[in-house]
């Protein structure tokens, strides 16, 4: 007769802990797989919604009131950037003694610029950037801080916020660089006004 040894309490505890770990891993795997399935379904739904939205956007714009639809009737035009002339001017504020930078912008072309995003840098003699500003120089509408569109042949001045370290002693040591980050030109809707539709 073979005597059966009894399981010690420690062995039983380790076996129970092992079973708990295995069960936890199995449950975690099931939850993870379910989560991946839900995310995949949600992502597919979002992509389908985005696709339908993009497909229906032109029709939606056409149904807007003419005043609103006209604002959205523009296009990105990187080739028109060559028609935009920019110049940075450093003027001294007599009260504080600081240099106040401003940007002079001229539309040399025949298009109405509805969006113009600029990045302005001041560099030292070695070409390293010292100061930087990002400005929306033109917007589809003129309202409060929105400067409105830039008309053909027009000139616009934008005063940048001064830096405390920008003093008169640095005037001869600084040079500027202006980057056009985004540019869009406005196109009149053909059904809005025959005179606008025939404009260049």
CATH number at residue 170: 2.60.40.1620
Highest mean pLDDT among 7-16, 126-135, 157-166: 126-135
Is the pLDDT score of 176 beyond 60?
Answer: yes
Q: Are 151 and 107 in contact (CB under 8 A)?
A: yes
For residues 79 and 174, state if they share a domain. yes
Domain of residue 110, residue span = 75-187
- Supply the pTM of this predicted model: 0.61
Q: For residue 35, name the pLDDT band (cuts at 50, 70, 90).
A: low
User: Is residue 156, in this structure, part of any structural domain at all?
Assistant: yes
Task: Give mean pLDDT, residues 79-87.
Answer: 96
Q: For residue 73, name the pLDDT band (cuts at 50, 70, 90).
A: confident
Report d(CA 99, CA 88) in Å as an integer: 12
Torsions phi, psi for 70 (to 5 deg): -65, -35
User: Is residue 197, in this structure, part of any structural domain at all?
Assistant: no
- ∠ CA 8-9-13, rounded to 5°: 120
Burial state string for 158-189 with b = 16 or more CB within 10 A and e = fewer than 16: bebebbeebeeeeeeebebebebeebbbbbbe
| Strands, sheet with 155-159, edge to edge from the N-terminal-most edge strand | 84-92, 99-107, 155-159
pLDDT score recorded for residue 142: 85
* 96 against 135, higher pLDDT: 135
Is the pLDDT score of 66 beyond 70?
Answer: no
């Amino acid at each position: 007769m073979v005597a059966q040894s009894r399981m010690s309490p420690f062995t039983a505890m380790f076996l129970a802990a092992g079973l708990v770990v295995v069960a936890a891993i199995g449950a975690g795997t099931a939850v993870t797989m379910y989560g991946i399935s839900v995310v995949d379904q949600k992502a597919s739904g979002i992509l389908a919604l985005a696709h339908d939205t993009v497909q229906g956007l032109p029709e939606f714009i056409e149904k807007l009131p003419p005043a609103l639809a006209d604002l959205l009737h523009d296009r990105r035009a990187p080739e028109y950037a060559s028609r935009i002339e920019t110049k940075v001017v450093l003027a001294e504020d007599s009260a504080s003694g600081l240099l106040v930078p401003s940007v002079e912008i001229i539309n040399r072309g025949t298009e109405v610029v509805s969006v113009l995003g600029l990045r302005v840098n001041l560099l030292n003699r070695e070409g390293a950037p010292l100061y930087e500003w990002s400005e929306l120089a033109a917007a589809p509408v003129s309202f409060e801080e929105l400067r409105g569109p830039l008309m053909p042949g027009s000139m616009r001045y934008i005063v940048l916020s001064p830096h405390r370290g920008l003093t008169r002693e640095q005037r001869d040591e600084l040079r500027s660089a202006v980057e056009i980050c985004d540019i869009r030109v406005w196109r009149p809707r053909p059904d809005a006004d025959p005179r606008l539709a025939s404009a260049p």
